[in-house]
Structure 1
Amino acid sequence: MKLIGSLCAVVFCSFLAFCKPTQEKKDRVHHAKELSNQPHDDGNHQYDHEAFLGKEEAKTFDQLTPEESKERLGKIVDKIDSDSDGFVTLQELVAWIKHVHGRWVQEDVEKQIALCDTDHDGKVSWIEYNAQFYSHLKDEDLHDAEDKHSYKKMLARDERRFKKADKDGDMIATREEFTAFLHPEEFDYMKDLVVTETIEDMDKNGDGFVQLEEYIGDLYTPESGEPEPDWVKTEREQFKEFRDMNKDGKMDRNEISHWILPGEYDPVEAESKHLIYESDTNRDEKLTKQEILDNWNMFVGSQATNYGEDLTRKHDEL
């Protein structure tokens, strides 16, 4: 049963992998708390793996044999079962996935501060950030006018986001402010800017709205002669039935806000319900360790055929 379906197909992308400018399509904020940029469908559990483990830890599990994956999953289950009653409830699973996501955000922020904080004061000033990523705009090597124009647009966009994140206006981001800059979807005071950036990214004709073809074009670039995949057809229907709430053929700012920042929809809870539904064999709405281990491939999985040199790091404790 698809409890999340195409509502989760739109990616939660944090702003950076390594402090890249915000304009890059695949690295921009696009959905408030999405848990993975993988498609969430019944045939691909990679979304579930990244939601349950975190993106980096999911890569590690991909290197393990099934036996090793199950062993480590058992240790994780013991941690999730916070009251040690032998069952994993919805509340415990939600708490775990939120912990995993929060850990990933903090690890990402640590990496970016280490990269950008050149005076090592634990903060990132706009001057430091600008020097790290836009100093090349002054170089004569950047001859391509189109590239230069594109980077100038990125610079303006980053500066606007930095100023919004910088609550005290001193253009020096504390750790919390820099987190808001990198992950604005996590902060209420940044969410209006998230909507603005989404419109700017998708609105190709500049009318302030997102038409159906702009919506589809942002998700899918067809290959020459390639038939449109079923998931794209589903997204067309999603747009018509749910995204375009007033049925005028386009999404306005309010509809876009409802789509990417839906107050009533919690993807963490939805993913937790999905995992329980798929694994709860006796339908008591909670999971035993054995039920989880019996469905281990949904939770962690393994792509390895040989265990040994392919395993680059061990994580006995998460």
Structure 2
Amino acid sequence: MTPRQLLWAASVLVVTAMAMAMAKPTQEKKDRVHHRNDLSDRHHDDAHGYEYDHEAFLGKEEAKTFDQLTPEESQDRLGKIVDRIDADKDGYITHSELRGWIKHRQQRYIDENVNKHWAEYDLDKDGRVSWEEYKNTTYGYYLDEEFEDMNDKHSYKAMLSRDERRFKMADRDGDLIATKEEFTAFLHPEEFEHMKNIVVTETVEDIDKNGDGLINLEEYIGDMFTAEEGEGEPDWVKTERQQFNEFRDLNKDGSLDAKEVSQWILPGEVDHSDTEAKHLIYETDKDKDEKLTKEEILTNWNMFVGSQATNYGEDLTKKHDEL
């Protein structure tokens, strides 16, 4: 099972405390846009816990939000969320209602993330973010002549070049000044059709260690798992080797080219909100009428608090009037 999470907004920028609280470049491995078919490195076995679901839809850090609440608080606040999901107020949560709610939560996450960074980068407050504003805020300190670590300086220059390529692709009119929509495409390229090629290109660059423009089996596995001395290979790694040979490497030449990588990380128009809604209903719908009551959901509250239905867990820590 792949330890990489398929997450809609995987390319979020992080703010560092160095110098003037300058943001780290987008290319750090943990922040890159990188899609996988599997959602977590946990074994997906609900009979032994919901760690897979929690990490898949929260990330490890966000999943810890649940621990801040008592079971009673969680159930109370989840019940209020259920009332909001029930759009027609008939007492049942349908697949359509749950899917719509999850999609709404996903979009709100993206909007909030973009707005946060927009405020950091729109330095002249003109309602646009220029390439110069982004470059100076993100890289100015690291590229300054007084920054003495030449290895790091070389690394940041490479990151700058890659960010510039992504910025220019997101900048549809070519004026090097991003509108809010263009900036969203820069931060979340996986959400935009015209940015899909950059997602593939960056994925290949991150995993391809020998620089041949291809991903061989060892590079593929090495991006997911590095064995400690004396450590055996887990079963999920063996499964991934089989996946590579049987399903990823379509032309059986021992490596993945850009087209094969695209098939791997962008496997068609997958509606993950739909998939998650079906999963939650399947696991929670005890009478098998293909819709959920509040009682059914609250009985399984420990599954829902870790899903996208609760906006990455954040809704459970907010008052009802904040939702």
TM-score, normalised relative to structure 2? 0.84
Gaps of 5+ in 2: 16-22, 307-315
More off after superposition, 155-164 vs 252-261: 252-261
1:41 aligned to which of 38, 41, 44: 44
Name the aligned partner's letter for residue 71 of structure 1: D
SS at match of 1:31: coil
1:94 aligned to which of 75, 95, 99: 99
Where do 4+ consecutive residues of structure 1 move more than 6 Å? Answer: 34-38, 50-57
Q: 2:199 maps to which residue?
A: 194
- Give 1:63 deviation, angstroms: 0.5
Q: 2:168 maps to which residue?
A: 163
Contact 2:34–2:199 (Cα < 8 Å) also in 1: yes
2:33 aligned to which of 24, 29, 32: 29
Equivalent positions of 1:1-318 (< 5 A) are: 6=1, 9-12=4-7, 13-18=10-15, 19-31=23-35, 39=42, 41-42=44-45, 43=48, 45-46=50-51, 48-49=53-54, 59-300=64-305, 314-317=318-321, 318=323
Contact 1:10–1:37 (Cα < 8 Å) also in 2: yes
Query: 1:240 & 1:122 partners in 2: Cα distance?
Result: 49
SS at match of 1:151: helix
More off after superposition, 148-157 vs 86-95: 86-95
Name the aligned partner's letter for residue 31 of structure 1: H
Distance change >3 Å, CA 123–CA 45, structure 1 → 2: farther
SS at match of 1:87: coil
Contact 1:87–1:287 (Cα < 8 Å) also in 2: yes
More off after superposition, 62-71 vs 10-19: 10-19
1:256-298 Cα offsets, whole Å, 9 max, x none, are 1111111143322222221111112122222221111111111
1:217-260 Cα offsets, whole Å, 9 max, x none, are 11123222222233222222222232223333222211111111
Query: 1:227 & 1:7 partners in 2: Cα distance?
Result: 16
Distance change >3 Å, CA 55–CA 126, structure 1 → 2: farther
Query: 1:83 & 1:52 partners in 2: Cα distance?
Result: 26
Query: 1:54 & 1:316 partners in 2: Cα distance?
Result: 24
**Superposition RMSD on alpha carbons, in Å?**
2.7
- Give 1:71 deviation, angstroms: 0.8
- Give 1:57 deviation, angstroms: 7.2
- Give 1:24 deviation, angstroms: 0.5
Query: 2:227 & 2:219 partners in 1: Cα distance?
Result: 13
SS at match of 1:88: coil
Distance change >3 Å, CA 138–CA 160, structure 1 → 2: same
Query: 2:303 & 2:28 partners in 1: Cα distance?
Result: 31
Contact 2:143–2:153 (Cα < 8 Å) also in 1: no
Name the aligned partner's letter for residue 175 of structure 1: K
Contact 1:243–1:255 (Cα < 8 Å) also in 2: yes
Distance change >3 Å, CA 11–CA 20, structure 1 → 2: farther
- Give 1:44 deviation, angstroms: 5.1
Query: 1:140 & 1:203 partners in 2: Cα distance?
Result: 31
Query: 1:292 & 1:313 partners in 2: Cα distance?
Result: 18
Gaps of 5+ in 1: 1-5, 302-311
Q: 1:306 maps to which residue?
A: none
Distance change >3 Å, CA 24–CA 53, structure 1 → 2: closer
1:101-141 Cα offsets, whole Å, 9 max, x none, are 11111111011011111111222111111111111244344
TM-score, normalised relative to structure 1? 0.85
Distance change >3 Å, CA 136–CA 54, structure 1 → 2: closer
